[in-house]
A and B are shown apart, each in its own frame.
Chain A
Amino acid sequence: MTASLQHPGYDPERLLCVAEKMPCRVSQAGTLLSLMGEPAQYSYPSIFLYGHRSTGKSHVINTLLMDLELPHATVSCVECVSVGLMFERVLLALFGPDTSTLLPRSPSLSDFVRIYRQQAPLSPANQTRYIVIEKAELLRDMDSNLLPVLVRLQELVDDNVTVILLSEIVWDRFRPNTGCFEPLILYFPDYSKGDLQQILSQDIHPSYSPELYSAFINILLGVFYSVCRDLRELRHLAALNFSKFCEPLKEGKVKESDTHKLWRNIEPHLKKAMQTVYLRDVSSVQWEQQLQQTEEKECAALKGLSAHAHVELPYYSKFLLIAAYLASYNPARTDRRFFLKHHGKIKKTNFLKKHEKTSNHLLGPKPFPLDRLLAIFYSVVDSRVAPSASVFSQISSLVTLQLLTQLGHDDQLDAPKYKCAVALDFIRAISRTVNFDIVKYLYDFL
């Protein structure tokens, strides 16, 4: 494959223009162009493009179709919640605004194909028409006939039309039971580290030299490349953190050439960014404010979403939740040992069964009946609690708060089963507030 984009059917100067817009994707664009052929020639009925997120699938396709002025319709399956919407958009883009009014109110595939067939000869195709469908994996959840119809649309409407499907997921997961017309499958490879460096270095800050920015990108990739290869995410992180990187330059402490000092300055910041901004724990606005603030309250001020996870609960609710946690993560056999006064001494090894070698904190919570929850509750609460309506209503309100989940909705009153849905850190924080040492009562940590 040659480095420059060329095809006999299209104007070479325009192709040069197009090639500039897609760095590192010229060979893929070349393959696509050669598949599409000259505008008047037939192209393969359907092409399936797959590749990772932000590897330029939509960008390449849309730039090609847009800049070469080929008739095309681009629809995204996320927006088209019904097939009707999709048909409307396709007809609108291909045949002009009046055609979409021809569709009946809830159009079937048959209506779409019929109207397409009617309209196609009216505006005759001397060029291949393209229908680009983004996020094609959602097609599988729509009408079951939609995907088989789209991949053989050329045959059904008898027009020079090509359907291009874009997806992150491989074609093998798309194929319907009885099979369908197989599209031509193309892979968009991921960007290598060099490619990423090259692309990211393109958006330069006007007041600094390109070399500085490229050095910054190098450091950024050094930290994030092992976790994230998403170009969009990396670009976002670069934009957020560049001002911090330039801070020592502004203050005049460091010269531009002294990359080591700059690296020492920025690296801890980037590491922290991975745990906060990258996870969207702290929003990017917060993060930018944070960077502008002085360093003294740096650690304290950074409170992300996860810091707000602690909820204030009533006293008995706390104990109910603790009891639920104990019931979920301890085997029922060990309840005697933990919660009765005269249980005798039993070592853990004595009642360790063969299948219980893996801890429950690995396997997740187990369901438990209401009786067990109440029994544990009464034994962990010091005072005498009447089984009043308020205790039971607190259980159901814990379910509404999604701290507990109820299993098997068939039986609401008689012996319902529950599961505890909170993490260990959360329950520890709660038990600390009521002075209860939960770790002592957990079988896994015995």
Chain B
Amino acid sequence: MSKRKLKDSPMPIGECISQVQTLLRERLCHQQLPQRPEGVDSQHKHLMELLKRTAVHGESNSVLIIGPRGTGKTQLLRCVLAELLAEEDVDKTLLQVHLNGLLQTDDRIALKEITRQLSLENVVGDQVFGSFAENLAFLLEALKKGDRSSSRPVLFILDEFDLFAHHKNQTLLYNLLDVSQSAQTPVAVVGLTCRLDVLELLEKRVKSRFSHRQIHLLPSLSFSQYLQAVQAQLHLPDTTFPDTTFCYDWNASLKALCEDKSVEAVLLRHFNSTKDFRSLHRLLMAILCRVSVNNPTIKPADLLDASRLLSADAMTNVLHGLSILELCLVIAMKHLNDIYDGEPFNLQMVYNEFKRFLQRKSNSLYNFELPVVMKAFEHLQQLEVVRPVDAAAAVAARAQREYQLVRLMLDHSQIMEALQKYPQCPTDVKQWAASAFG
């Protein structure tokens, strides 16, 4: 495919690539909205109905959208909103308030944000910065004055809903849900969360005011659908893309790619580890980076490379960069772990183990003194390869550094794998690591 030069194309290849990058990057990074989210038709319908009842008929509702990270909760909501706003009247009457549990960390900030987003600041005047109670009273008053028929419906969207449940007394949630229960201004409270046990976090009085409508978004893709999703994400639209020849070639090569056996194996591995879209986007982004003028189509090798890049074990990488002395200490710790069955140890014990190795096996090539070893040990501690058992107590008791108890944060296989990859690892160190009894 790649050999085929596009001499008769109206655009030079560099520009085509640039177009492809722009288009696909917007799709992968900026979470551009699709026409219609796939595989969630019933949820889409449910949410659409619900919001429409609030927006058009003035009914108050509350709903929670629950699903693991990267399953398209925000996307679903945005799609529904975009569709809803496309309808007549709705965009003029519906007021939206977007809150995020990460940003609005307490009720005071959230309240200010609500006032701001409802553009009530000019009404309140300088009262925006009045006391919390005044602000809340004013807002409730404003919401209470309205009724079903005359006032404009308000849509509250609470992203990271579980974080709002950690606010003091859950005042905000209580008040919002209370308004949604009583015949006041029509409001819809939509919460998005990734915690399945979010209802357990709510206080009893808050819980009783919640309508217990939940929309679950669980990844239900089969592998063939996953493959299709990969293709759809990288697909170029033949109607809007300026260069039709390039577009045709790209799509054809994409199809050929997805039928490749090695590619399928890699994707299957990804599919088995996680089904969320974000990780898929990450993979595709890593692939897309390799597309350039010299390499205008995606080849299976690109995919293999990208997948290797993303699935590399970080700890093995870190071990690869250690000096010989630090590696020896890690091996000594591994032996201590084996002998004492995972009990925590201190530097003195590690040093002792290391010295025993030097006495018996090595020709005193690495004869280092305790302070040098301590420096290496502290470097390991900085990299969090070892961790103090009780950091707070150690600081409080001002324990001597060589007697501070630590634990190794690696497992057996990681150490052995790193040793295999270590450049110019001395043979005696390798043998020492392999021998079971130090």
- CB <8 Å contact, A184 and B323: no
Classify the interface of chain A: helix, strand, loop or mixed: loop
Interface residues as binary, B11-42 with A (CB distance below 8 Å gives 1, 0 otherwise): 00010011001100110111100000000000
What separation, in Å, do the CA atoms of A160 and B194 have in the docked complex? 26
- CB <8 Å contact, B371 and A275: yes
What separation, in Å, do the CA atoms of A367 and B366 have in the docked complex? 35
Q: Which of B17, B321, B349 has the most CB of A within 10 A?
A: B321
Is residue A201 contacting chain B, with contact meaning CB distance below 8 A? no
- B346 contact set on A, CB distance < 8 A: 362-364
- CB <8 Å contact, A178 and B105: no
Interface residues as binary, A74-112 with B (CB distance below 8 Å gives 1, 0 otherwise): 000000000000000000000000000000000011100
- B112 contact set on A, CB distance < 8 A: 110
- CB <8 Å contact, A182 and B25: no
| Beta-carbon nearest neighbor of A9 in chain B | B18
- CB <8 Å contact, B317 and A187: yes
Interface residues as binary, A399-423 with B (CB distance below 8 Å gives 1, 0 otherwise): 0001001010000000000010101
**Given the interface contacts A37-B21, A172-B314, does A154 sit within 8 Å of B352 by beta carbon?**
no
Shortest distance in angstroms between B348's beta carbon and chain A's nearest beta carbon?
5
- CB <8 Å contact, B320 and A38: no
- A44 contact set on B, CB distance < 8 A: 28-29, 282, 285
Q: Which of B146-154, B169-177, B264-272, B395-403 contacts A (4 or more CB under 8 A)?
A: B395-403
Is residue A227 contacting chain B, with contact meaning CB distance below 8 A? yes
- CB <8 Å contact, A52 and B375: no
What separation, in Å, do the CA atoms of A43 and B285 have in the docked complex? 9
User: A235-278: which have CB < 8 Å to B?
Assistant: 274-275, 278
Interface residues as binary, A170-190 with B (CB distance below 8 Å gives 1, 0 otherwise): 111100001111101111011
Q: Which of B80-88, B208-216, B286-294 contacts A (4 or more CB under 8 A)?
A: B286-294
**Given the interface contacts A35-B289, A421-B398, does A178 sit within 8 Å of B369 by beta carbon?**
no
Shortest distance in angstroms between B399's beta carbon and chain A's nearest beta carbon?
7
What separation, in Å, do the CA atoms of A168 and B346 have in the docked complex? 23
**Given the interface contacts A108-B105, A192-B423, A228-B323, does A181 sit within 8 Å of B278 by beta carbon?**
yes
- CB <8 Å contact, A361 and B348: yes
- A154 contact set on B, CB distance < 8 A: 29-30
Total A-B pairs, Cβ < 8 A: 169
Specify which of A31, A184, A190, A226 is in contact with B321 (CB 8 Å cutoff): A190
What separation, in Å, do the CA atoms of A189 and B375 have in the docked complex? 22
Is residue B121 contacting chain A, with contact meaning CB distance below 8 A? no
Is residue A381 contacting chain B, with contact meaning CB distance below 8 A? no
- CB <8 Å contact, B375 and A149: no
Q: Which of B46-54, B96-104, B132-140 contacts A (4 or more CB under 8 A)?
A: B96-104
Is residue B109 contacting chain A, with contact meaning CB distance below 8 A? yes
Q: Which of B218-226, B230-238, B243-251, B376-384 contacts A (4 or more CB under 8 A)?
A: B376-384
Is residue A41 contacting chain B, with contact meaning CB distance below 8 A? yes
Interface residues as binary, A144-155 with B (CB distance below 8 Å gives 1, 0 otherwise): 010011000011
Is residue A281 contacting chain B, with contact meaning CB distance below 8 A? yes
- CB <8 Å contact, A109 and B103: yes
Shortest distance in angstroms between B29's beta carbon and chain A's nearest beta carbon?
4
- A42 contact set on B, CB distance < 8 A: 22, 25-26, 29-30
| Beta-carbon nearest neighbor of A276 in chain B | B371
What separation, in Å, do the CA atoms of A230 and B424 have in the docked complex? 18
- CB <8 Å contact, A145 and B25: no
- B14 contact set on A, CB distance < 8 A: 8
Classify the interface of chain B: helix, strand, loop or mixed: helix
What separation, in Å, do the CA atoms of A155 and B30 have in the docked complex? 7
What separation, in Å, do the CA atoms of A394 and B346 have in the docked complex? 30
- B31 contact set on A, CB distance < 8 A: 155
Is residue B318 contacting chain A, with contact meaning CB distance below 8 A? yes
Shortest distance in angstroms between A343's beta carbon and chain B's nearest beta carbon?
30
**Given the interface contacts A42-B26, A109-B103, A168-B383, does A179 sit within 8 Å of B372 by beta carbon?**
no
- A187 contact set on B, CB distance < 8 A: 312, 314, 317
Interface residues as binary, A272-302 with B (CB distance below 8 Å gives 1, 0 otherwise): 0011001101000000000000000000000
Q: Which of B18, B21, B103, B366 has the most CB of A within 10 A?
A: B103
What separation, in Å, do the CA atoms of A203 and B144 have in the docked complex? 75
Shortest distance in angstroms between B69's beta carbon and chain A's nearest beta carbon?
5
Is residue A330 contacting chain B, with contact meaning CB distance below 8 A? no
- CB <8 Å contact, B352 and A362: yes
Is residue A369 contacting chain B, with contact meaning CB distance below 8 A? no
- CB <8 Å contact, A190 and B278: no
Is residue B77 contacting chain A, with contact meaning CB distance below 8 A? no
Shortest distance in angstroms between B90's beta carbon and chain A's nearest beta carbon?
22
The 6 closest A-B pairs by CB, nearest first: A364-B403, A190-B321, A170-B314, A34-B289, A226-B324, A110-B103
Which residue numbers of B lie inside 8 Å of A, CB to CB? 14, 17-18, 21-22, 25-26, 28-31, 69, 74, 100, 102-105, 109, 112-113, 116, 162-163, 194-195, 278-279, 282, 285-286, 289-290, 292-293, 309-310, 312, 314-315, 317-318, 320-325, 346, 348-349, 352, 366, 368-369, 371-372, 375-376, 382-384, 397-400, 402-403, 423-424
Other contacts beyond A181-B69, A184-B285: 20, CB < 8 A: A7-B292, A35-B289, A37-B25, A37-B289, A42-B30, A45-B29, A108-B105, A110-B103, A110-B109, A110-B112, A114-B116, A155-B74, A156-B103, A172-B315, A229-B321, A229-B323, A274-B372, A278-B375, A363-B346, A421-B398
- 25 A-B pairs with C-beta separation under 8 A: A8-B292, A37-B289, A38-B18, A38-B21, A40-B22, A43-B25, A44-B282, A50-B317, A110-B112, A110-B113, A114-B113, A145-B163, A155-B74, A169-B383, A179-B69, A182-B279, A189-B317, A189-B320, A227-B368, A275-B372, A362-B348, A363-B349, A365-B400, A405-B398, A405-B399
